Structure 1
Amino acid sequence: MTTAAIGIDFGTTNSVVALAHADGSVTTRSFATRQGAVDAYRSALMFWREGRPPETHVAHVSGPDALDMALGMTAEHRFLQSLKTHLSSRAFQETRLFGKLYRLEDLIGVFLADLAAGLDGLDRHTMLSGRPVVFAGERPDEELALTRLRAAYGHAGMGKVDFAYEPLGAAYWYARGLERAQTMLVADFGGGTSDFSVMRFEPGGRGGLEALPLSHAGVGVAGDSFDYRIIEHAVSPRLGKGGEYLSFGKRLPIPAHYHAAFAQWHRLSLMKSRETMAELKALIRDAVEPDRLEDLMTVIEYDLGYELYRAVSATKIALSSQDETVLRFDQMGVTIERSVTRAEFDGWIAADVAAIEGALDEALAKAGVSGEAIEAVFMTGGTSHVPAVRALFDARFGAQRIHVGDAFRSVASGLALLALDRSRAAAAA
């Protein structure tokens, strides 16, 4: 089939490319990896040095293969993930990888080039990329984020990319089969942000859709935040958080920054420096409970962050269908086994759910509509399955109005459809 338009969902954790065809059908691009073909391409990069001096050069791999190689590689390497979360932050300007300086947009451009590799006619097709309503970060700089994202697409050889809100893409995918006008709320839960849009859809001519955005709102709270709450309450205390060490006869708290890195598992590798390891060894000598800090050091030294987060993610998923589960982690002599109830988890994430509800209220208020005026709610993303989040939406809108879409493909597929309709409208004008 001939590709007529392309939709790109560049995500914090995974990215998806959707292809809209001339007949109006949409397919998602499949990527070949060591583990087999995937539609959701891991938003990750790994760099390492190849060859012997003076003929060495820096090589890289992206996607699921980057993660697989990073977990198994003993030589020096740099694994990078969640680059999207830094787009709006001036704190991350550049980094040096094996002697070469990379700006953030350069790194994202390397990933996007791999994502688009092999697609024909990039310069001819209408391309639409998703963007969050509110970029991740405490005080996100939207202009900076979009400037960097445009530059990254340019570095990847895709200079003609337009942008649309990610929930608009999700809404367009859901609304493609509408036969009557409908006012809809779209909740798009990613890894780093939760985005909301209130839309008015009307079936248009030639099978297209007339989409009127009424409002948008978002917050930098989503699935990664929920993972961190489990780490914070069930894992970090087992690895020394809240503990004490002795200094000149006084008991002092273990510095908090050693456990703050658990907010994102891949940041643990950045702690694996000679200075940090020396500091931990000194703390262990004086700690009241040295075995816990020894386990923390083992997690860092042997790059066990990913395995730890897999255990955390499995716990979160289990609590979506069970009232209680056991978080189990057993690697390199570090054993953590902790029962977690859904009631506990709900308490840990209560402030995050309240922040999500605040963004939802903002979207409704900006649109000037009440909850009763919303005829359908379309939810996409893994966080839509968290019981506390689902209970919030059930209570506000009623379960009968809620529809849950494909967590990975909805946004990209809708963006491709929207790009196709826009190109047809421009051609007919």
Structure 2
Amino acid sequence: MWYAIDFGTSNSLLSFVEKGESSKLINLENNAPVLRSIIFTPSKGEYFFGAEAIDEYQDLGGEGRFFRSLKKFLPEPSFKGTEVFGKRMKIEELIAVFLRELKTRADKETGHQVTNVVLGRPALYSLDLEKDQLAEDRMRSAAELAGFKRIEFCAEPIAAGLSGGKDIQEKLILVCDFGGGTSDFTLLKVGKDQFSKDDVQGLSGVFVAGDAIDGRVMRNFVSTHFGKDIQYKTPIGNNTLGFPRRLLGKLSNPAHISFLKERDTWEFLKEIEQWTMQGEDQRYISQLFCLVEEDLGYPVYAKIEKSKIELGKNEQSVYQFSHPGIKIEMPISKVQFEESVEGELSDIFKAMEKVFSQSGLEYSNVDQVRITGGTGQMPLIQDYLIKIFGRDKIVMSEAFQSVALGLGKYAEGLD
């Protein structure tokens, strides 16, 4: 028996494989297979997950530690861990808390204590091979801490390709997996009874996806209301300084924003508050303090995601966020949004081009393009692929389930 886990930047799913039977998705929350990859801990040893974590976090006014997009930290050697109620927790320990919860819920659902697991992984955690290996090693350690004994890995875009079922004729498919943290591309031959690594013609990925696009909206638009354009002077200098780029980087990253609350950063923010020169700037800094102190990163970015979806359908969206101490109402046009994310989209599709340069194949050789992942629902991304390959070759896979089901199919062939 196997579990196949798609641990995603934004969402996670699990399928169960029993010998001689097809894999099936396990319901993890509210009779549905999707569990948001979120942890909230309001006190030592107490954890909430997914939608319940969001509810508890909001009910308690942000008192505690709120973690999202943990997957993004896996290849970062500099991220050694963070302090959680007096205890320093490594990234693998934090992820183990989440994987253990997945296992506990699945064991209850299946009635078995399953210790074999196939873990999905991006085509590349990082372009740096040492960092890529570090990320996989950390995931393996997290799975061991969560109670798994035999641990196998399968690239998520390969899994997405396997989930499409058997084809009578051999086809070359391009699997495009656009998630929260990574955009992955795989050229895959399908139509054989059994998957082989030789079926993979090309594999590439980049750490740019939904979170990076949301972060761009924060950086280019919303961050103005949290002090991006302020000016200040230190008591011992005459130079006028702007908002520190290092802090803007954290503010503009959904995974990093919660770390603005760490001691050194918090003390530096207090100094900036004292040194800020103009009244309007002081209001923006006050809003930033409210954001950090009350740990409002998640709801602020949830509103950004809402605007991003609206801009896929409408010519304008009004970003609105209202909270005691914060008031934002900011129109963003479709043209402004599309211009702002050109760099991110360019990085994403350069990764796709690498798949073809690796394989020596041309766009015209592709029989089918399968799009999966939540970010793949963006009209901007779909339109780009339609322009290259033609509408007839595009297949929209189920946004979240295809990888977990494909990982299950991979597990079916392991024993």
TM-score between both structures, scaled by the size of structure 2: 0.90
Give the match for residue 101 of structure 1.
88
Could you tell me which residue of structure 2 aligns to residue 166 of structure 1? 156
Alignment partner of 1:195 out of 184, 201, 207: 184
Unpaired stretches in structure 2, ≥5 consecutive residues: none
> How many aligned positions are there?
405
Aligned-residue offset at 1:308: 1.0
Aligned-partner Cα distance in 2 for 1:71–1:376: 44
Verify the 8 A CA contact 2:115 2:149 in the aligned structure 1.
Answer: no
Structure 2 distance, partners of 1:291, 1:313, is 25
Structure 1 residues 123 and 294, CA gap change in structure 2 (3 angstroms): closer
Percent of pairs with identical residues: 28
Contact 1:79 1:266 survives alignment (8 Å): no
Give the structure with the larger strand fraction. 1
Give distance in 2, aligned partners of 1:290 and 1:101: 34
What residue in structure 2 maps to residue 394 of structure 1? Answer: 386
Q: 1:236 to 1:382 in 2, by over 3 A?
A: same
Aligned to 1:341: 333
Partner of 1:291: 283
Q: Does 1:252 align with 2:225?
A: no
Q: Deviations over 1:342-362 (max 9, x none)?
A: 221111111111111111110
Residue identity in the other structure for 1:178: D
Distance in 1 separating the partners of 2:211 and 2:8: 12
Contact 2:126/2:132 (8 A) holds in 1:
no
Most deviating of 408-417 and 4-13 = 4-13
Verify the 8 A CA contact 2:63 2:294 in the aligned structure 1: no
Report the Cα offset of residue 407 of structure 1.
1.6
Query: Match for 1:364: what amino acid?
Result: F
- Give the counterpart of 2:344 among 333, 349, 352: 352
- The aligned runs of 1:21-40 (5 Å cut-off) are 21=18, 24-32=21-29, 36-40=30-34
Distance 1:254 1:123, change over 3 A: closer
8 Å CA contact 1:193–1:218 kept in 2: the answer is yes
1:89/1:209 CA distance change after superposition, 3 Å = closer
Mapped partners of 2:130, 2:123: distance in 1: 11
Distance across 1 between alignment mates of 2:33 and 2:362:
37
Q: Identify which range, 188-197 or 336-345, moves more after superposition.
A: 336-345
Q: Which piece of structure 1 moves more, 96-105 or 283-292?
A: 283-292
Q: 1:384 maps to what in 2?
A: 376
1:66 to 38, 53, 56: 53
Distance 2:224 2:304 in 1: 14
CA contact (8 A) 1:238 1:336 kept: yes
1:53 paired residue number = none
Task: Go from structure 1 to structure 2 and tell me whether the alpha carbon gap of 1:141 and 1:396 turns closer, same or farther (over 3 Å shift).
Answer: same
Q: CA deviation at 1:80?
A: 1.9
Partner of 2:396: 404
Offset at residue 283 of structure 1 (A):
3.3
Asked if the contact 2:368–2:395 (Cα under 8 Å) also holds between the matched residues in 1, the reply is yes
Aligned to 1:364: 356
Per-residue CA deviations over 1:247-302 (Å, capped at 9, x if unaligned) read 56653323233332223345433323452452243134666632222222222222
CA deviation map 1:20-70 (0-9, x unaligned): 4556444321124xxx33321122223343xxxxxxx53223333223222
Question: 1:81 corresponds to which letter in structure 2?
Answer: R
Q: Which deviates further from its counterpart, 96-105 or 403-412?
A: 96-105
Q: 1:267 to 1:87 in 2, by over 3 A?
A: closer
Equivalent residues of 1:186, 1:197 under 8 A apart: yes
Contact 1:188 1:379 in 2 (8 A): yes
2:207 equivalent among 202, 205, 220: 220
* Structure 2 SS opposite 1:351: helix
CA contact (8 A) 2:15 2:404 kept: yes
Which residue number corresponds to residue 299 of structure 2? 307
- Distance in 2, Cα, partners of 1:142 & 1:105: 15
- Structure 2 SS opposite 1:158: coil
Equivalent residue for 2:140?
A: 150
Query: What secondary structure sits across from 2:187 in the alignment?
Result: strand
Alignment correspondent of 2:171: 182
1:422 CA displacement: 3.4
Q: Give distance in 2, aligned partners of 1:302 and 1:96.
A: 17
User: Is 1:81 equivalent to 2:68 in the alignment?
Assistant: yes
Displacement of 1:73 in angstroms is 2.1
Q: CA 1:289–1:105 in structure 2 vs 1: closer, same or farther (change >3 Å)?
A: closer
Confirm or deny: 8 A CA contact 2:173 2:189 kept in the other structure.
yes
CA contact (8 A) 1:186 1:377 kept: yes
The 8 Å contact of residues 62 and 295 in structure 2, kept in 1 or not, is answered as no
Gap change, CA 1:245 and 1:75, over 3 Å in 2: closer
RMSD (Å) for aligned C-alpha atoms: 2.4
Q: What is the one-letter code of the residue matched to 1:254? A: F
Is the CA contact (8 Å cut-off) linking 2:212 and 2:253 kept in structure 1?
A: no
CA 1:141/1:266 → structure 2, altered by over 3 Å: closer, same or farther? closer
For the residues of structure 1 that align with 2:40 and 2:277, how far apart are their CA atoms? 35
Structure 2 residue 216 is matched with structure 1 residue 229: yes
Equivalent in the alignment of 1:269: 258
* Mapped partners of 1:28, 1:235: distance in 2: 38
8 A contact 2:69–2:254 mirrored in 1:
no
Which 10-residue stretch deviates more, 153-162 or 282-291? 282-291
Task: Give deviations 1:338-384, integer Å, cap 9, x for gaps.
Answer: 22222211111111111111111101111221000000000101221
Q: 1:44 matched to which residue of 2? A: 38
Counterparts of 2:16 and 2:383, CA distance in 1: 34
Native 8 Å contact 1:380 1:410 kept in 2: yes
| Separation in 1, partners of 2:129, 2:232 | 35
Instruction: From the superposition, tell whether residues 265 and 284 of structure 1 become closer, same or farther in structure 2 (CA, over 3 Å).
Output: farther
Q: Which residue of 1 aligns with 2:13?
A: 16
